[in-house]
Amino acid sequence: MKVVTFGELMLRLSPPDNNRIMQSKSFNSSYAGSEANVSVSLSRFGIQSKFISALPSNIIGHTALSQLRYHGVDTSDILFKEGRIGIYFVESGYSQRPSLVVYDRKSSVIANTKTTDYNWKTIFESNDWFHFSGITPALSKELSQACENALIEAKKMGLRVSCDLNFRNKLWSKEKASSVMRRYMKYIDVLIGNEEDAKIIFGFDYTDNDSQKVKINEYEIIMKEINKNYGIKKIYFTLRESISATKNHWGSIGYDGEEFFLSNKYEIEILDRLGAGDSFAAGIIYSEINDFSTQKSINFATAASCLKHTIHEDFNIVTLEEVFDLMNGPGTGRIKR
């Protein structure tokens, strides 16, 4: 089984040691992007994974590509063009101080690509799965169209398709996002998201009560509606409860059109939560590819993404064995010698 993902790869700059940007004289640098994160995680699970994107034809672009290769991602179809890489600055939060993300991604090289730059027929050849998130169509009109082309071609060629809602309000309006994403839904086999994004995209307006129980009800109503309206068979939502920037509760809910399943839940001390949603998506894709039951799927994806919170940078550098150990074990973190 081979997976193709499509999206932007950005340079991530974060001050070391929990420092604020204002008090730091250096940045740790890494490269990340929602779909690239999925590809890396799948590759670390042993799944062949190809990432489609565009990078600047300079030393930064080549370094970015090398980082994906490091993790075994197939980068052979990435475009190199004149231009700039998108950048985002991350200040890791701590306790009551929130993490801060400042984007500088406008006019990035991928945002300036054309639909004709992507030959989906060739790209998809001998691949089995296509994944993208709501960030890619938000980058430009051309990319929005490129996504749609990819979806049409993917279905034509028999690939299964997953989509992570991933709404970014700095990139497009709720109305625009809602209209575009809904249009895509008919191509989607597996939908991944969280409550907030689902409400924005699908227009739900439930009051946010304090009781966690009620929330689960809300999730179920939303999922049922999506299933009913768009015929998406598998829907997975993450459940995050923020205690502080350094402590979260983490779980997920899955719906297979008939039943709802709640995953194991984790109380996480957070090292770096960026990329958590993407690592969940990768966990779901891995589960679907391996025909896990819905219950096992959410348990696997939740354990995988729980571990992501304990790893610096966006990539979920964990092995299958580590995910299964957490998923099946007590999760007490005893030393492995």
Indicate whether 182 belongs to the interface with a copy of itself (CB under 8 A): no
Shortest Cβ 277–a copy of itself spacing (Å): 11
Indicate whether 80 belongs to the interface with a copy of itself (CB under 8 A): no
**Cβ neighbourhood burial of 82 (10 Å; 0-12, 13-18, 19+):** exposed
Shortest Cβ 209–a copy of itself spacing (Å): 14
Q: How close are the terminal C-alpha atoms of the chain, in Å?
A: 33
Which of 1, 24, 178, 183 lies at the binding interface for a copy of itself (CB under 8 A)?
A: 24
User: Got the DSSP string for 268-313?
Assistant: EE-S--TTHHHHHHHHHHHHHHTT--HHHHHHHHHHHHHHHTTSSS
Query: Quick one: which of 166, 113, 129, 126 has its CA closest to 45?
Result: 129
Indicate whether 168 belongs to the interface with a copy of itself (CB under 8 A): yes
Shortest Cβ 236–a copy of itself spacing (Å): 20
Q: Checking phi first, is residue 257 left (phi over 0); if not, alpha (psi -120 to 50) or beta?
A: left
Q: Rounded to the nearest 10 degrees, how much is the dihedral formed by the CA atoms of 46, 48, 53, 56?
A: 70
Which of 54, 147, 161, 306 lies at the binding interface for a copy of itself (CB under 8 A)?
A: 306
Q: Point out which residues pair with 308 in neighbouring strands.
A: none
- The three-state secondary structure class of 331 is coil
Span near a copy of itself by CB under 8 A; candidates 82-90, 119-127, 223-231, 288-296: 82-90
Indicate whether 209 belongs to the interface with a copy of itself (CB under 8 A): no
Q: Residue 14 or residue 127: which is nearer to a copy of itself going by CB?
A: 14
**Cβ neighbourhood burial of 205 (10 Å; 0-12, 13-18, 19+):** exposed
And the tokens for 186? 């008919």
Shortest Cβ 111–a copy of itself spacing (Å): 12
Q: Residue 100 or residue 221: which is nearer to a copy of itself going by CB?
A: 100
Asked if 207 and 173 touch (Cβ cutoff 8 Å), the reply is no
Which of 13, 111, 154, 222 lies at the binding interface for a copy of itself (CB under 8 A)?
A: 13
Cβ neighbors of 272 (< 8 A, separation 6 or more) are 92, 309, 311, 312, 313, 314
Indicate whether 279 belongs to the interface with a copy of itself (CB under 8 A): no
Q: Residue 257 or residue 331: which is nearer to a copy of itself going by CB?
A: 331
Distance in angstroms (rounded) separating the CA atoms of residues 205 and 146: 31
Q: Residue 107 or residue 179: which is nearer to a copy of itself going by CB?
A: 107
Q: Residue 96 or residue 211: which is nearer to a copy of itself going by CB?
A: 96
Instruction: Return phi, psi of residue 249, to 5°.
Output: -100, 145
Indicate whether 1 belongs to the interface with a copy of itself (CB under 8 A): no
Distance in angstroms (rounded) separating the CA atoms of residues 220 and 141: 33
Indicate whether 312 belongs to the interface with a copy of itself (CB under 8 A): yes
Q: Which parts of 26-55 interact with a copy of itself (CB under 8 A)?
A: 26-30
Which of 58, 112, 115, 290 lies at the binding interface for a copy of itself (CB under 8 A)?
A: 58
Q: Which parts of 236-255 interact with a copy of itself (CB under 8 A)?
A: 242-247
Q: Which parts of 101-130 interact with a copy of itself (CB under 8 A)?
A: 101-104, 106-107
